Structure formats: structure tokens, C-alpha cells
Amino acid sequence: MSHQLDTRESAYDIVVVGGGTAGPMAAIKAKERNPELRVLLLDKAHVKRSGAISMGMDGLNNAVVPGYATPEQYTKEITIANDGIVDQSTVYAYAKHSFTTIEQLDRWGVKFEKDANGDYAMRKVHHMGTYVLPMPEGHDVKKVLYRQLKRARVEITNRIIATRLLTAADGSVNGVMGFDSRTADFHVIRAKAVILACGAAGRLGLPASGYLMGTYENPTNAGDGYVMAYHAGAELANLECYQINPLIKDYNGPACAYVAGPLGGYTANSRGERFIECDYWSGQMMLEFYQELQGGNGPVFLKLNHLAEETIQTIETILHSNERPSRGQFHANRGTDYRHQMVEMHISEIGFCSGHSASGVHVNARAETTVPGLYAAGDMAAVPHNYMLGAFTYGWFAGESAAERASSRDFTPVDAEQVARERARIYAPLLRDHGLPALQVEYKLRRFVNDYLQPPKVTRKYELALERFAEIGEDLGQLHARDAHELMRCAEASVIRDCAEMAARASLFRTESRWGLYHLRVDYPERNDAEWFCHAHLKKDESGRMSHHKRPVEPYIVPIAEQERDAYDRLRVAPKAPAEKTAATV
């Protein structure tokens, strides 16, 4: 390739980074709020098939549908499931808007399961309430979104990887920098408001298979949004509340107890016995899962082989056509038939994701980060357990909030120094004639993440991890890329390193255990509400280092009764016989 390294400059009222789930909704709602605005949707892949739902989704995990649940009940459920560390204003804002979002998607053509009366066919999976709405024909979500993006006249640019945000003299965000992963052209895009919707940090830990891209999350979601927000000065919340998921072993896709659960399937131990009362993913559930995996009754399985043929066919049809449709082929290769064998499950590597847990960029109920002009939505925005419907809903909020800002403001001057610095940083691997390959550095980095950061968390291991991550930081200065694609992997290696350091430092800061397995610190094994009933925020300080502070949990809108607070701590199925009960804590 020719290394002309052109810089291309453009300007849009709003730039949305990430065209997966939250991003398209944000772009559409920004245009609806003010059709005069020029809105650019930027994607490192192709908007048609990008993000966590590239192949659709098999259900809504958190639908708040009138007649089944109220926003207050949902807010209570998520507050308890997240061990109380929740700004209820954000969860409540989601819950109140949840049904409006469903109706919008329904009108656009997303298919949800309905009963004979045409009502949504709600199912119970959570510990307390009913929030699951199956989408057996949910494979067309991205097509539906793409049609609406075109209709709304949102401009789309694919194959641009955003790497840093531009900030104005007053600290507000005024643009995005990145490069084309095919031509290596450098892009400077000025903006009045920027919405980050870059998904989870899904390439943090290394899958047990050792295959770099064998991740649960779409591997394009390397954590770019977390790192861009961090370097722009935004606060990140509760990063120590990792994402760890119960997945199909090796395949690393969801076993989908949410799909199978309402039809009679369940998570079982090697004896085929249920050991958790509720398959809804929470840190507490993951701790029980982990203990069963490690214990004499392990490993853990998804059990379907007791179900009727007709039911199994229904489950197969849903699971093998939605979200991760190659799992049918995986099972066939291994000779696993839902009718005869249980499906072996395993625990995933760690990541950041507020869609499933609570680790994300701090936002308020308007999707505003702590940096003016910067908004965040979807898996990377810290609204606990927000899932796909929360991504759509906060994308909606972000689009409207950003449109309001962009409608009443002018562009601010771009700092040429920031552009020059980023251009030099990004292009360095392309200009070396030899050096380290990005994927090899990434492998080593992610292996260290597994070795040192995978819970249970041990303080000394975390301190060693910081030394290793600093060394990897030096290795980044020796990366060599032979083309624009490899340059993208180099940029991602830097993102993953920053996320790894954030994960380690955030975990060391919170000297207690909370959220079950997600933040299980062996040398601080107890939950300590007296000192740690608060958010832990991480941000870049004036000297460029990671700093931490506590932020109080907002006063609850929906009160939690004393006897309800620990409902998610009682997930283990009680033993039948009065046999000796093993301690539930490590």
C-alpha cells in the first residue's frame, strides 16, 4: 500500500461513534429532534452488520411492559441485583421509557413474540419480576435499523476506527479523530456534540480456548469507547464490577437460559440438578456458578434433555437462527444434541460492560457524561444491566440531548497540537520497518489479564499485573503494522492495555467484596457498606494518571425494604436432605 497518510477534515453537528445498537437509535432520534442537523454515524465495521446484535437478538431481557411490571418494580429489581450501587434516576428513566422504545421498534418492524390476543408474550426469568420478551424472529433487527437510518437521512461512514476525542479550551468535546482501516487516511471530524456508543470492552480477558477472537462480545468491541472517554477526561464508574458470563464452553456464546428457561430448560450441575433458583445473570449468580464449577458437582451444564421434542425444536429454531447462529454447527461438531446431552458450560473471561453488569462511562438520565458535549449509550454507558433495550433507550436519550446542545451552539476551534500528537501516535507502527505484531502483543496482554485479574481477586496479583501492563505499554512503542488493517489492531492493543490498567486500578481501589464474583477480593472478603456503599469513579487527573474517588449513591426514588435487599444473595437452591451445608462464601 502507499503510505500517503492523508488527513481528511470534515465537520458535522453531531458525530455518533458506533453503529451497533445504541448508535443508530441516537442518530435517528437526533435527526428527529432537529432535522436541520447534520448527523454522522461512524462505524469501525459496517453499520449493516456491526455490533453486539449483528445477527439479531433472541429476546428482550429487561422489557418493562404494563400489566407485567411497573418501572418502580424494575428499578427495585435492578437495584437489588446490583447490590444497591445504582443511581436509580438512570434505571428509572430507562424503565419509564422501556415500553415506548418497544413500541417504536415494533412500528419499525422488529418482531416480538405475541400471544393469541396480540399482546406481548412476557416470560419470567429474573429472581423477582417478569421482564423477558422473546424475539424468535429477531434476526432482522439490523436491517430494520438500517432502513430507518436511511429514512432519517443520517450520514454513514464505515470502516473508520475512532481513536481519540478532540477537546476545546474549556474542556468540552469538539470532535473525533480516527483513521480508515483500509486506506489508513487520518480523519479529523469536528462536532458540536459527540455520542459514544462503542459497545463493551469485550477483548479484555483471553478466552479459555486461547483464540483471540473467540470472545462473547463482538470482537470489534475492544473497549475503544471507554478509552476515548477516559482520555477526554470523563469519569468511569465501577469498572471493578466486571462482566463475567456463563457461556457455552469453548464456543463462548450464551447458552441462553433466557430462551430455554421459560420453556423448562435450566442451568444444572453434573448430576443434572438445579443449583441456582434463578438463571438471570448477576454477580451473585456467577459466584454460585463459579463455586459449582470448582466443586465436586461441577462442571456446569445447560439442561434441556428432559424436554419434549416439540419444545426442543422450538429452542433450536430460536438459538440457531439468532444472535450467535453458528452454535448449531458447534454442537453438531461435538456431537451434542439437546435431546440427549446436556450442554457443557464455562465461565467467561473478564470484560467491561454495563449492558450486563455495571462497568461503564458514568452518565446521567440524559446520557450526558461528566464532559460537556460528550454523551454515551449502550454497553459502555454505566446504567446497570441495561441490555439491548437499554442501549436503544439511552441511545434515544443521547440523540435528543446531543441535538439540543448542537442546535444552540457553534463549532469551537480545533487544537492543532492534539491532532498532530494523535496522528503521530497512530501512525508510528506503520512507519517502523520492523517490530512486534499487534496480535502477539494482544495475546500476551490478554493472557496477563487472565493470569492476574480473573476473580477471585488477590491484591498482590493485581499489583504484579500493573507492572506487566506497564511493560506492555513499552512494547506498544515497538509495534509494527504492514497495512491499515494491522494498524487498526495496533490501535486496539493500546485500547486493551488501557482497559486492563483501569480494571486493575479500579479493583484495587475498592477494598471490599461486592457483586458476587464480579468483585470478589479474597483479602477483603466481606461487603463493607459502611465504607463502600458508594460508586467508585476513575478519571484521568491533571498529571495524566488514573485517579479514583468515591461518589455517593443518589438517594433512592424507589425504597428497598430491609428484607428485600439481599434477595439476590439467596440464589442457591436449598439442599433437600439436612446434609451438611457448605458455606456460600469463599
Partner 1 sequence: MAFQPRSIAQFSEAAVTVDLDKCIAHKGCTVCIDVCPMDILEIDPQTGKAFMKRDECWYCLPCQKDCPTGAIHVAIPYLLR
**Helices marked H in 196-308 — which ranges?**
224-231, 257-260, 283-294
Cα distances (Å, whole numbers) of residue 446 to 104, 223, 545: 40, 13, 22
CB of 237 to partner 1, least distance (A): 27
Could you tell me the smallest distance in angstroms from the CB atom of residue 332 to partner 1? 10
Q: Closest CB to partner 1 among 488 and 567? A: 488
When the beta carbons of 142 and 164 are compared against partner 1, the nearer one is 142
**CB nearer to partner 1: pick between 186 and 275:** 186
Nearer to partner 1, 251 or 509 (CB): 251
Which residue, 46 or 425, has its beta carbon nearer to partner 1?
46
- CB 359 → partner 1: shortest distance, Å? 22
By the 8 A CB rule, do 359 and 240 touch? Answer: yes
Taking the complex as a whole, how short is the minimal distance between the CB of residue 498 and partner 1, in angstroms? 21
Through-space distance between the first and last CA atoms of the chain, rounded to whole angstroms: 55
Sign of the dihedral through C-alpha 91, 96, 102, 107: negative
If one counts every other C-beta atom within 10 angstroms of the C-beta of residue 55, the result is 19
Q: Give least dist CB 179 to partner 1, A.
A: 13
Between 186 and 518, CB nearer to partner 1: 186
Smaller CB separation from partner 1, 34 or 163? 163
Nearer to partner 1, 335 or 555 (CB): 335
CB 333, min distance to partner 1, A = 5
Side chain identity at residue 361, one-letter code: V
Q: Specify the DSSP class assigned to residue 537.
A: E
Q: How far is the CB of 107 from partner 1 (least distance, A)?
A: 25
Rounded to an integer, what is the distance from CA 354 to the centroid of its chain?
A: 5
Q: Which residue type occupies 427?
A: Y
Looking at the Cβ atoms of 238 and 348, the one nearer to partner 1 is 348
ω into 372 cis (within 30 of 0)? no
Per DSSP, helices labelled H in 335-456 are: 387-407, 416-431, 438-448
Does residue 377 sit in helix, strand or coil?
coil
Strands 534-540 and 133-134: unpaired
Nearest approach in angstroms of CB 435 to partner 1 is: 8
Q: Which residues of 81-103 are buried (b: 16+ CB within 10 A; e: fewer)?
A: bbbbbbbbbbbbbbbbbbbebbe
Compute the half-sphere exposure of residue 188: CA atoms within 13 Å on the CB side of its CA.
Answer: 19
CB of 310 to partner 1, least distance (A): 26
| Rounded least distance, CB 46 to partner 1, Å | 5
The angle that helices 484-509 and 416-431 make with each other, rounded to 10 degrees, is: 110
- The secondary structure element, H or E, covering residue 487 is helix 484-509
Closest approach, Cβ 544 to partner 1, in A, equals 32
Quote the least distance from Cβ 111 to partner 1, whole Å.
17
The 3-state secondary structure of 442-453 reads HHHHHHHHHHHH
Q: List contacts with partner 1 (CB under 8 A).
A: 45-46, 48-51, 54-55, 158-159, 181-182, 209-215, 218-220, 250-252, 324-326, 329-330, 333, 434-435, 437, 439, 485, 488
Q: Closest CB to partner 1 among 372 and 435?
A: 435
Residues in Cβ contact with 241 at an 8 Å cutoff, skipping those fewer than 6 apart: 82, 85, 283, 357, 358, 359, 514, 515, 518, 519
Closest to 87 in 3D by CA, of 539, 565, 510, 556: 556
- Whether 145 and 151 have beta carbons less than 8 Å apart is answered as no
Q: Which long-range contacts (CB under 8 A, 24 or more apart) does 101-108 make?
A: 101/389, 101/392, 101/393, 101/396, 102/60, 102/63, 102/65, 102/133, 102/389, 105/141, 105/144, 105/392, 108/144, 108/145, 108/147, 108/148
Identity of the residue, 34 or 220, whose beta carbon is nearer to partner 1 in the bound complex: 220
* Amino acid code (one letter) for 61: N
Looking at the Cβ atoms of 483 and 564, the one nearer to partner 1 is 483
